Amino acid sequence: MALLETIQSPADLKKLSVDQLGVVAQEIREAIFQQVSKVGGHLAPNLGVVELTLALHYVFDFAHDRLLFDVGHQCYPHKLVTGRLPMLANLRTRQGMAGFPEPRESPYDLFSVGHAGTGISTAVGMARGDTLNGQGFDSASNPKGRRVVSIIGDASIVNGVAMEGLNGAGTLKRQFLVILNDNGMSIAKPQGALAQYFDRLRINPLYTGMKRRAREVLESLPGGSLVEEAYHRMGEAVKGAVAENAWFEHFGLLTVGPIDGHDLPLLIEFLAEARDFDRPLVLHVKTVKGKGYAFAEGDSTKFHSPNSFTYDPDSCRVEIKKDGRSFTSAWGEAMTEIMRRDPKVVACTAAMPGGTGMDKVAATFPERSFDTGICESHAMDMMAGLAKTGWKPYFAVYSTFLQRAFDQAFQEVSLQGLAVRLCLDRAGLVGGDGAVHHGFCDISILRVLPKAALMAAMDEASMIAAMEFQRTYDDGLSAVRYPRDNCSTRFADRPCPPFELGKARPLIEHAEPDVAILAFGVMAISACEAADAVGPEVRASVYDARFAKPVDTALIRSLLDRRIPIITIEDHGPHGGFGAAVLEAAADMNLDASRVVRMSLPDHWIYQDSRPKQLAEVGLDAPSIARQIRACADRWPIRGAHARAGGMVELRPAAAALRSDGRPATP
């Protein structure tokens, strides 16, 4: 039996020798590699923290002490030694292990986290809370109290919230350990002056002698117990061992390291000493992202979170599964073409060049492409500055990370009347990444901004058309959203009309429909499939709504004046989204909206699984939409009854229903 299979909790880990921990480390890497190769997931970041995770659980008791992750995608080894090995076989599904820390799974996970920069601040809060409760560790007065450890990595230390957390941590008068997992990488290559600082540190002679120099710090402290007197008495000679890390000391945090994050005996030795330090401490640990697999070490960006892949150990050949053309790939090519045509266009991302398609753009236009690192707020402000100086900025950002920059979208962009163009990848349900990454509120948070133009793409052609609309829209902020999915080819052989502000596009149109579907983004494709399924029993017209702000008021008035039921569909939350905008428009026009039925994401959290399963779960797949169409026809049965009695039904595809200018033809 493998050693890993014998570990039901960290208590079992503590029974092993340090040499046996090395065996467990290899077994953890193999287990993660095998499962991620089958289903996809975060590979390189987890391979890099195996020894660090084992050492932390070997030294601390996190059934009692506090362990808080900053970048949650480094949690797989932690989960495997806290009793969740049986859940690995169903990684990133509802039946198995979530890809991020998840308190519903285990008391060892304190927060469900997928956004960077937050771990230090929440750890400071728990440290203060434990102290106020009389449960905080103190070597003299409460040696059995709770210790607090926050692990931060993948360059999220550059995030503004992390800086605020460090500032707060420096005011603590108790044990508080920050583990800086420095792997020289973010999701991609880290950006900015702080990243360059750590690059210099890694090539400094200090790093070459890291074991000796860091040990000097600890040996200078009586008995290894880092008490207040020793903390204040350390001389300049000892501080010189960490002089290159003096940056952290400006926050009031003593810093030790860097030390080798793959040397288990060394990690255990240092953590055992740091465990009882009565003041805030940073332990700088150097790790290799993708450790243990040469292909992942060599391209840790590509293997940060790959799809399933095959690996031939003989040839060392790795082939990642591809099952279609993704919106992300299509965006990268479209953005490159826009920049080729318009020399005033610039583009930016926040640490997600591969995830957004910006890597393709930067390869062609490096001088007009920017990666700010994990700094969405800074990126939005920088785009505002570029807009103010006459450029046309596009900001490619995951929908789930947009809310981190809302203040800047309001204050520096919208209030100033600046045209910043947002491209919201991973909108709607994201599949295996689960609740921490769903893009369910981008419409509602942006719709409050005056003159914002909010769009969604249903396929590649409509995304290109929306981006072209953005290029010439100068009245304010604009946004186009699209999912983590492949582009539909249903309408690939038909011309895509240009986007016109506040105008929908008919896809399937009847002269006198039983039901009209106004679908936002890719939900239009599912609505067409549903309309196919119910016809000719029910005549369902389908419109690609295109805009959530402003909505197509002329179309809404026409349908409601004729008492035609409207179904709005969106892969977004129910509050403040597209459906809410349709209801508000009807109310503003004094129209009877009693025949408007909204379909949206539910008002509760949706956990990890495949995107198709999630859509079916929340009733946004084609069969669920078809059931709603029939229900509406039954509820308001005048035209539906005629159709079911054998009346003529005409289903006309979009190409036959459009004039050359893209507007509806006369029925």
How far apart are the C-alpha atoms of 446 and 443, rounded to whole Å? 5
List the catalytic residues: 289, 376, 404
Measured from the Cβ of residue 257, the count of other Cβ atoms closer than 10 Å reads 26
**Residue 603 DSSP SS3:** coil
Residue 319 buriedness (CB in 10 A; 0-12 / 13-18 / 19+): exposed
Tokens 């892969």 label which residue?
A: 571
Provide the sign of the torsion angle of the four alpha carbons 405, 375, 70, 614, taken in this order. Answer: positive
Position 190: which residue type?
P
SS3 letters across 303-337? CCCCCCEEEECCCCEEEECCCCCEHHHHHHHHHHH
* Residues 39-72 as b or e (16 or more Cβ within 10 Å = b): bbbbbbbbbbbbbbbbbbbbbbebeebbbbbbbb
Measured between alpha carbons, how far is 488 from 603 in angstroms, rounded to an integer? 28
392: which 2 tokens?
Answer: 């046309």
Whether 588 and 551 have beta carbons less than 8 Å apart is answered as: no
- φ/ψ region of 390 (left if φ > 0, alpha if ψ in -120 to 50, else beta) reads left
Q: How far apart are CA 125 and CA 17, in angstroms?
A: 35
Nearest to 615 by CA among 570, 579, 548, 575: 570
The Cα-based distances of 6 to 149, 254, 273, 625 in angstroms read: 26, 38, 28, 48
Number of H helices, E strands in the chain: 29, 20
Q: Residue 350: helix, strand or coil by DSSP? A: coil
At residue 452, φ and ψ (nearest 5 deg) are -70, 140
**Residue type, position 141, single letter:** S
The Cα 304–Cα 189 span in angstroms is: 11
Residues 445/121, Cβ–Cβ less than 8 Å: no
Listed in sequence order, the residues at least 6 apart from 50 whose beta carbon sits closer than 8 Å to its beta carbon are 25, 28, 29, 77, 291, 292
Look up residue 20 and give its two tokens. 């046996």
